[in-house]
């Protein structure tokens, strides 16, 4: 009896496995599952014949039926996985796109090149322990000039083409008055930069603007040397113009500092060989600097015998124009979106 049963089961199993092998969809697979394992499925039918099996054979037959079901179910699982995988592959294939079609752009605004240059400078100096300090743009003549060692009638006052509100109040020509204000507070040591808007009576053209920005730096501490000034500015130049940048210091004169210098950097376009960008010089003038004049320290209540310091001033627009190769300063104040979008 069990032999007949076994044949029957084997036949169901092999027939079912064969059918499943060629199935193409999960639906068809499901139909097969129902037709074999379902309530009215073939295996159920076989089970119904169990009554006719001798009781002593029943466990054995039961086991045979279970084995047959296991084989079918394991094949079912295998097929289901294969079909799912095929389905996923078909879907992926159908969803293929042309990745070279244009991107949908997020319409994000752009930062002004001056601000980008300023943020970069702030990052460098904040990293060196400098605080960023602001001050008034409309300033007392005394802070803009006298406290910076430019007494009344000093020729430097003419050189700077100052805008006056009245005889005592000016549009600041430099951000150094912020340094004088900070020194007067008396908290030492000082490491600061003062960025901001400054004004000079220059007509608007490709290289001049009556309003522009400066970033001036000041360090006052014990034992500050000219060598420290050079080292700091060299580091700054390398950070902002690239690690291969070389610097050159030339004597100059500013009333605020003594000794004073101007710093050139090797042309970052040609590396110093000389090109149109640096007018064949190989060097580009970047900033003025020097050791804070002892008289300036005295006027701000700092003892120059105990403290020394250095100061420097950079034109922000100059850095922005050089760094981004902008050939006309007027572009910075026109606010044409086609210009701004390039930054």
Partner 1 sequence: MNTSLSWIKMYVPDLDCSAQEYCDAMTLSGTKVEGFTRLDRDLEKIVVGKIISLEKHPDSDHLVICQVDIGEKNVQIVTGAPNAVVGMLTPVVLPGGRVAGGHDGTLTEGGIKIHAGKLRGVDSDGMMCSIEELGSSREFYPEAPENGIYAFAEDSGVKPGDDAVHALGLDDVNIEYEITSNRVDCYSVIGIAREAAATFDKKFVLPEVTPTGNSEDVNDYIQVEVEAPELCPRYTARVVKNIKLAPSPVWMQRCLAANGIRPINNVVDITNYVMEEYGQPMHAYDLDTISGHKIIVKRAQDGEKFTTLDGNEYTLDHTILTINDAEKAVGLAGIMGGENSMITDQVHTMLFEAACFDGTNIRLSSRKIGHQTDASRKFDKGLDPNNAMEAMNRACQLIEEFGAGEVVGGAIDIYPVKREESRVLFEPDKINSLLGTDLSAKQMLEYLAKVELRYDEKTNEIVAPTFRQDIHRCCDIAEEVARFFGYNNIPTTLPRGEATTGKISFKNRVEAKARDVAEYCGFSQGMCYSFESPKVFDRLLLPQDDSHRRAIQISNPLGEDFSVMRTNSVNGMLVSLSTNYNRRNKNVRLYELGNIYIPKSLPLTELPEERMQFTLGMYGEGDFYDMKGVVEEFLGQIGMHDRLQYNAEAGKTFLHPGRQANIIYDGKMIGFLGEVHPLVTKSYGIGERTYLAVLDLPAILPFATFDRKYHGIARFPAVSRDLSMVVPKNIQAAELEKVIRQGGGAILEELSLFDIYEGEQVKAGYKSMAYSLVFRSKERTLEETDINAAMNAILKGLSDMGIELRQ
Residue 169 near residue 157 (C-beta atoms within 8 A): no
Report if residue 208 touches partner 1, rule: CB under 8 A.
no
**CB-nearer residue toward partner 1: 32 or 171:** 171
Residue choice 52, 102, 153, 327 for contact with partner 1 (CB under 8 A): 153
Report if residue 78 touches partner 1, rule: CB under 8 A.
no
Q: Please state the closest distance from residue 260 (CB atom) to partner 1, in A.
A: 7
Helix 113-127 vs helix 316-324: angle between axes, to the nearest 10 degrees? Answer: 110
Helix extents (H) in the chain = 2-21, 26-37, 42-48, 58-94, 113-127, 141-144, 155-159, 176-184, 226-241, 294-299, 316-324, 331-334, 337-340
**CB-nearer residue toward partner 1: 15 or 330:** 330
- Coil, strand, or helix at residue 321? helix
Distance, in Å, from the CA atom of 202 to the CA atom of 339, rounded to the nearest integer, reads: 23
Residues 93-132 that bind partner 1 (CB under 8 A): 107-112, 114-115, 122, 125-132
Stretch that binds partner 1, among 3-11, 37-45, 69-77, 335-343 (CB under 8 A): 335-343
Per-residue tokens: 154:
């000093």
Report if residue 331 touches partner 1, rule: CB under 8 A.
no
Q: Which residues touch 305 (CB under 8 Å, ≥6 apart)?
A: none
Closest to 210 measured CA to CA, from 223, 197, 227, 196? 197
**CB-nearer residue toward partner 1: 305 or 327:** 305
Report if residue 203 touches partner 1, rule: CB under 8 A.
yes
Report if residue 142 touches partner 1, rule: CB under 8 A.
no
Report if residue 56 touches partner 1, rule: CB under 8 A.
no
Residue choice 37, 211, 269, 299 for contact with partner 1 (CB under 8 A): 211
Report if residue 221 touches partner 1, rule: CB under 8 A.
yes
Report if residue 176 touches partner 1, rule: CB under 8 A.
no
Closest to 12 measured CA to CA, from 63, 52, 64, 56? 64
Residue 171 near residue 140 (C-beta atoms within 8 A): no
Q: Please state the closest distance from residue 101 (CB atom) to partner 1, in A.
A: 22
Residue choice 142, 258, 277, 323 for contact with partner 1 (CB under 8 A): 258
What residues form DSSP beta bridges with 260? 252, 290
Per-residue tokens: 58:
């029943």
Stretch that binds partner 1, among 36-44, 53-61, 74-82, 150-158 (CB under 8 A): 150-158
Report if residue 249 touches partner 1, rule: CB under 8 A.
yes
Report if residue 301 touches partner 1, rule: CB under 8 A.
no
Q: Please state the closest distance from residue 269 (CB atom) to partner 1, in A.
A: 20
């Amino acid at each position: 009896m069990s032999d007949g049963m076994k044949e029957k089961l084997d036949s169901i199993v092999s027939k079912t496995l064969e059918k499943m092998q060629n199935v193409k969809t999960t639906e068809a697979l499901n139909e097969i599952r129902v037709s074999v394992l379902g309530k009215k499925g073939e295996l159920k039918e076989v089970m119904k014949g169990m009554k006719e099996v001798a009781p002593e054979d029943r466990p054995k037959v039961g086991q045979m039926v279970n084995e047959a079901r296991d084989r079918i179910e394991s094949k079912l699982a295998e097929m289901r996985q294969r079909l799912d995988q095929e389905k996923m592959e078909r879907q992926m294939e159908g969803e293929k796109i042309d990745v070279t079609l244009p991107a949908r752009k997020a319409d994000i605004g752009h930062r002004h090149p001056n601000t980008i240059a300023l943020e970069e400078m702030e990052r460098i100096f904040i990293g060196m322990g400098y605080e960023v300090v602001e001050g008034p743009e409309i300033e007392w003549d005394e802070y803009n000039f006298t406290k910076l060692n430019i007494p009344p009638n000093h020729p430097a006052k003419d050189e700077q083409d100052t805008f006056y509100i009245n005889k005592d109040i000016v549009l600041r020509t430099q951000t150094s008055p912020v340094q004088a204000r900070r020194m007067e507070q008396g908290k030492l040591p000082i490491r600061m930069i003062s960025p901001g808007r400054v004004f000079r009576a220059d007509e608007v053209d490709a290289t001049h603007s009556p309003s522009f920005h400066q970033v001036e730096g000041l360090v006052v501490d014990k034992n500050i040397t000219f060598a420290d000034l050079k080292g700091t500015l060299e580091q700054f130049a390398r950070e902002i113009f690239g690690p291969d940048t070389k610097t050159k210091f030339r004597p100059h004169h500013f009333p605020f500092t003594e000794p004073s210098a101007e710093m050139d950097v090797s042309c970052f376009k040609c590396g110093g060989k000389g090109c149109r960008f640096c007018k064949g010089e190989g060097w580009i003038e970047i900033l003025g600097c020097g050791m804070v004049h002892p008289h300036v320290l005295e006027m701000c209540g700092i003892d120059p015998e105990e403290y020394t310091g250095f100061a420097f001033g950079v034109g922000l627009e100059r850095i922005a124009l050089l760094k981004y190769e902008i050939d006309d300063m007027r572009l910075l104040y026109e606010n044409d979106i086609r210009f701004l979008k390039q930054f």
